[in-house]
Amino acid sequence: MLGRRGTLPFLVGPPLLWLAALFVAPLFLIVLFSLRPESGMVAPGRPWDPSLVQYIQVLKTPSFLRLLGTSTLIALGVAAMATLLAYPLAYFLAFRARARATLYLTLLLVPFAASYLLRIMSWKLMLGPAGVINSLLSSAGLISEPLDLIFTRPAVVVTLVYVWIPFAALPILAAMQRIQPSQLEAAADLGAGPWARLWRVTVPLSLPGALAAFFMVFIPTVGEYVTPTLIGGTGGIMYGNLISDFFGRGGNWPFGAALAMLMLLLTVVLVVAAARAVNLRRLIS
Amino acid sequence: MTSLARPGAGRRPSSAIGVGRTRVPLRGFYLTILILLYLPIGILLIFSFNPSQRLAFPLQGFTLDWYQAVFADGSLLRAARSSLMVAAAAATAATALGTLVAIATLRFRFRGRSILLGLAVLPLIVPFAVIGAAMFLMLVSLDVPKSLLTVMLGHSVIALPFTTLIMLSRLAGMDPALEDAAMDLGASYPTALRKVVLPLMGTALLSAWLTAFVVSFDEVALANFLIGGDPTFPTLLYGRLRFGGQLPVLISMAVLLTFATIALSLVAVRLARRRE
């Protein structure tokens, strides 16, 4: 009969093997590929000498570095806007909605259940030359030629903020639900008005949730290539488009691997810095 | 998505807070955002009933042709079925593995405990383009052909952080003495887990599975790197959106799938609530 200790290998084994084979090994491999000197769709088995030539090549291409910077800024901006807009929503659900809170939360999350591509498509329809905004403006006689709204960077930003707002509200709401009413009462008893309670009790205690929301938006956004392709057009591509292109038809795998490594490095640095600022363990427990 | 959290549950408004609160119109803000969230999708929905191929105003009339066309389009239906199978399998794998991680890390002290937990949630901070490229290179190196199976494996990895966190938070609220009691009564540890712990985690298991299902069912960025000749619905949709094609039919299909997802989630959540 299996005791507690005897069961442990059966609990740890499957997830560890699964992650080792499907997550750790691939990341290890992409590091190796990024150190290969040749270019193109290289034969995996051929012997090679490690070299930093791919990274040097990336760093010597200003347009790629600019795109990395632009994509990071877009992702930071989208994450900040989605978090700031989601914060009052979460506050409303946590403190004001009372008995209807479940209904209000469900209503907020239903659009999120709609297909991601469908939601992106819907903004193409809003912003297109014969789309909703242009049709409204021209029928009101305000414009004679359709405005160029779609296939621009702002169009990508608006669409992504729209996509992420409901999702960003979830971790903030979870953090606010852990705030004890007694903490707010104590502050009120000590003479804190509503704004003082917000700034000195609610905001500090919900900050880990807001940070989690920020990164849960930032990380998918910084690597985006689907939305930029559909909404941004050729002028609105992001760094993720480069990675996906170099792994597409007629790709260049070692170079694409180096591009991917640089982006991973950037996200890890940002996440570690933020995790130091706020104790991440509090988010998990 | 499919959070089972109940905001405001058990919270009694304190009079001290009730009296002196800010006069910010939060409800108005909420309703404005809600309208902005629904408006674009609503307009898109209208075009699935519009006879014209083009998605442009003015509307041309009313038709159900696009919905009929969905059921005549074999490739669309096949892609939807593929998505369903991939998502169900990925969700099952991710939920099983996430549950194991949660039990191992919460109920045991062992070397490598934090490494296991860290690894299980780490996919959350790696952009899909990076995971996708890395898995793609692994398939190339091992000479494994890309297929629905490889998409499923990829999705099981990106869904694992969600299932792990959901199971962790459920298990953390459960008294370990329950397992001890079962073992005192003669159960082996696996039996105690199976007969006592798992039944109590029913709602969390359902919540984890549904979350993982939605993550996979809708996913395109990672799937693009791992898909073979047989598309999932999102990869098919992405391809047709890029290179043009009959848009209204695609919208109709997406609308049908969206409503199916929402209905499934609501029914499941309701069932789970009743059991609680």
pLDDT > 60? residue B127: yes
Q: Is the pTM of this model over 0.90?
A: no
The pLDDT of residue B275 is: 59
pLDDT of residue B14: 43
Chain A, chain B: beta-carbon pairs less than 8 Å apart? 304
In a mutational test of the B interface, the residue from A67, A106, A117 whose CB has the highest number of chain B CBs within 10 Å is: A117
Amino acid at B142: L
Q: Which residues contact B162 (CB under 8 A, 6 or more apart)?
A: B94, B98, B208, B211, B212, B215
Q: Do A125 and B43 touch (CB under 8 A)?
A: yes
The tokens 């160029």 sit on which residue?
A148
A24 and B CB contact within 8 Å: yes
- Residue B57, pLDDT > 80, answer no
Q: For position B245, what pLDDT does the model report?
A: 67
The proportion of chain B whose per-residue pLDDT surpasses 70, expressed as a percent, equals 89
Non-local (6+) Cβ contacts of A201 within 8 A are A179, A183, A184, A187, A192
SS3 A211: helix
- Residue A41 DSSP symbol: S
Spell out the domains of chain B, with CATH numbers in brackets: 26-64 (no CATH), 78-275 (1.10.3720.10)
> Tens digits of per-residue pLDDT, A98-127?
788 888 888 888 877 778 888 888 888 888
pLDDT band at A55 (very low <50, low <70, confident <90, very high): very high
pLDDT for the residue B10: 44
3-state secondary structure of B218: coil
CA B158 to chain centre: 10
Of A14, A117, A184, the CB nearest to B220: A117
Residue A281 pLDDT: 52
Closest-approach residue (CA) in chain B for A190 = B16
pLDDT tens digits for range B190-240: 888 888 888 888 788 888 898 899 889 889 999 999 998 899 999 998 888
Residue of B138, B142, B158, B262 to mutate when probing chain A, most A C-beta within 10 A: B138
pLDDT band at B259 (very low <50, low <70, confident <90, very high): confident
| A165 chain-B contacts, CB cut-off 8 A | 33, 37
What average pLDDT does chain A have? 85
Residues A15 and B97 sit within 8 Å (Cβ to Cβ): yes
Which of A113, A91, A81, A202 has its CA nearest to residue B41? Answer: A113
Sorted by where each starts, the structural domains of chain A and their CATH numbers stand as 60-284 (1.10.3720.10)
More confident: B243 or B210: B210
